Structure 1
Amino acid sequence: MKITVKFFAGIAESTGKRVHELHFDHSPNVKDIINSLISEFPQAAEMIKRSMVSVNHDYAKPEQNITETDEVALIPPVSGGEEPLYEVTTEPLSADRLIAKVSNPYAGAILTFVGTVREFTHGKRTVYLEYEAYPEMAIKKMEEIANEIKEKWPDTKVAMSHRVGKLAIEEISVIIAVASPHREAGFEAGRYAIERLKQIVPVWKKEIWEDGEEWIGHQEGPWKPQTEK
């Protein structure tokens, strides 16, 4: 079976082609198309992995089957480049934005962990929180965590964002998104990510209560070990 694939932008430039023919001895699906293109164009492999496949002018899921009469195109990442997977920011956080960062044709599950500001802790009422971080080191440590996850759960992609500054009750302080081929790995990797973030990422928070305030490090961090979680 012959499948014709159209290339655009960076992929066309990297492969030196605008159109490419793939040959299969069976009816392929979208994932087969991606794997074949990665094999034939190793110099463009990373960009191909981050691309989507369109079939008859609609985005296709990895398991969608393709026929010879379908119009198939490889859609590279848009808007001038990929957003960073790890960040410390003063801007409000969005789960949808992180999901878009990790979404890829190999993912059968995408899970998110969202940490929010709670009002009561051990009976004390929090008015608001102030977060502070060592951004450059925090981002480096997030990347280390993601690399650990890739070793434990191959083909898993992770994005992490932590907000700093003044946060009100119920605002989001941290989001972790995990994309994996299977949901079991996604659940395990997501839990691993937040626990490791607490252990090694240098982020502090000041809890402002009705009757006082205190700077607190993460529960398991070397800066303020605590036995109670």
Structure 2
Amino acid sequence: MTYTWTIQLFAGLPERFGVAAITLEHNSDTITAAALKQLLAAAYPQHAALIGIAFVACNHSYAADQTTLRSSDELALLPPVSGGEEPASGTAASMEMYVITADPIRESDVVAKVIVPAHGASLAFVGTTREWTHGQRTVKLEYEAYAPMAIATMKKIGDEIAERWPGALCAISHRIGIVGLAETSVVIAVSAPHRGDCYEASRYAIERLKQIVPIWKKEIWEDGSEWKGHQLGPWNPTVPLTDY
């Protein structure tokens, strides 16, 4: 008996593979994430190097190599997310803490979600499209997200912050689609009883977002474009941040 395995693709992968999702036939209903990647590499040897640095997602969570997968799981192959140098979708309800949206984001709306009487400090990190990077002029950015998993991992960041800095609150809104020059792509709002915790939690939130949230960006120039992934060394979203 054979089983059908369907693996969704994101960011630049559909362009590379020529399909939005890969379908494989395999003689088992279970397989490890590492073995699935081996099957994909055998089926697409020209993309083996890219498959090797990608991660498998299973039911909206990153799957370590030894994780057992089932053919009925929701599976995706995720290239490195758009971490890098320091600076299907729709709008969610206004008071949801974690939002993926194609609409413009207002900083004040996100900050309002974390303002509570018990907190004396709040901060907003606002990421915008910059024009020049390493001497190359960007015309605009295009963002893509694996939306349900992106929201789940943003909530994970909020939970981690609440554990590390008791009482701290976090809200994150991220754009998808085209984001023009000087337009806002992401707002991360954090509040805490005291400013020291607020500063630390805010920095943690943006670094963790760049590490684990499945959002990708395409830099679009006057003469071309390129999907940008993680640029801070080997990408491993299954490990915690160690500098906090």
Matched, 1:176 2:188: yes
| Amino acid in structure 2 at the alignment position of 1:154 | P
- Selected match of 1:136 from 142, 148, 160: 148
2:43 paired residue number? none
How far apart, CA to CA, are the structure 1 residues paired with 2:122 and 2:147? 26
Q: Could you tell me the TM-score, scaled by structure 1's length?
A: 0.60
Name the larger-Rg structure: 1
Alpha-carbon distance, 1:82 to partner: 7.2
- Selected match of 2:135 from 100, 119, 123: 123
Residues 204 and 218, structure 1, Cα contact 8 Å, conserved in 2: no
Q: Could you tell me the TM-score, scaled by structure 2's length?
A: 0.57
2:157 paired residue number? 145
How far apart, CA to CA, are the structure 1 residues paired with 2:159 and 2:142? 29
- Selected match of 1:97 from 78, 84, 109: 109
Segments of 5+ residues of structure 1 without an aligned counterpart are: 1-80, 224-229
| Amino acid in structure 2 at the alignment position of 1:168 | G
2:224 paired residue number? 212
1:47 paired residue number? none
Give the number of aligned pairs.
Answer: 143
1:185 paired residue number? 197
How far apart, CA to CA, are the structure 2 residues paired with 1:83 and 1:126? 33
How far apart, CA to CA, are the structure 1 residues paired with 2:229 and 2:214? 8
Residues 109 and 179, structure 1, Cα contact 8 Å, conserved in 2: yes
1:163 paired residue number? 175
Residues 92 and 172, structure 1, Cα contact 8 Å, conserved in 2: yes
Any idea what SS the aligned residue of 1:102 has? coil
Identity, in percent, stands at 56
Q: Deviations over 1:36-80 (max 9, x none)?
A: xxxxxxxxxxxxxxxxxxxxxxxxxxxxxxxxxxxxxxxxxxxxx
Runs of 4+ in 1 over 6 A off after TM superposition: none
| Amino acid in structure 2 at the alignment position of 1:102 | V
2:32 paired residue number? none
1:111 paired residue number? 123
Segments of 5+ residues of structure 2 without an aligned counterpart are: 1-92, 238-244
Any idea what SS the aligned residue of 2:153 has? helix
In structure 2, the CA distance between the partners of 1:219 and 1:117, relative to structure 1 (3 Å rule), is same
| Amino acid in structure 2 at the alignment position of 1:98 | V
| Amino acid in structure 1 at the alignment position of 2:164 | K
Q: Deviations over 1:170-198 (max 9, x none)?
A: 00000000010000000000000000000
Q: Deviations over 1:139-162 (max 9, x none)?
A: 000010111111110010000000
Any idea what SS the aligned residue of 2:105 has? coil
Alpha-carbon distance, 1:218 to partner: 3.9
How far apart, CA to CA, are the structure 1 residues paired with 2:168 and 2:113? 12
Matched, 1:85 2:83: no
How far apart, CA to CA, are the structure 2 residues paired with 1:218 and 1:197? 11
How far apart, CA to CA, are the structure 2 residues paired with 1:217 and 1:164? 15
Q: CA RMSD in A?
A: 1.6
2:206 paired residue number? 194
Alpha-carbon distance, 1:212 to partner: 1.3
